[in-house]
Structure 1
Amino acid sequence: MMKAPGRYNPVMANFAQRVSEMLHNPKTQEMINKVKAQTNKPENKAKIQQFADKLRHRASSSSSRSGPGTGPGTGY
């Protein structure tokens, strides 16, 4: 069932409220701080950079090809 644009959606409001509550939870803040501390370590920064470069390479190589049968997972 499609809902008309601009109408109130209680499911999404509930979801947004839950996300907001989760983000303000002290345990969540503790996890975020731990992740930030790990990402500031030089060895982890290098791993993150390598991963980002790998993703960029995949995205640029897959977007440069066009036509049927050239999308991700087709083996071409």
Structure 2
Amino acid sequence: MTLQELQKQALQLPISDRWQLVQTLLESLQRETTSGLKKGNLSRLRGIAKSTETASEDVEADYTNYLTTKYQ
């Protein structure tokens, strides 16, 4: 069955059946979309929580230098 045949048959359904079809299709799309996004997002975030071993004084000095340079 082609897409056009399916569309033609769907339009012949009673309105309550068409709403049910729409709901079913939307739920299916949401499940497939969110599962694909979750996998992709997690792989890109790998290693984001790793800490660098810099002393807090170094961080403060770097930030001070940044602000000094920015506002000169």
TM-score, length basis structure 2? 0.38
1 or 2, which has the higher helix percentage? 2
Higher relative contact order (CA 8 A, sep 6+): 2
TM-score, length basis structure 1? 0.36
Structure number with greater Rg is 2
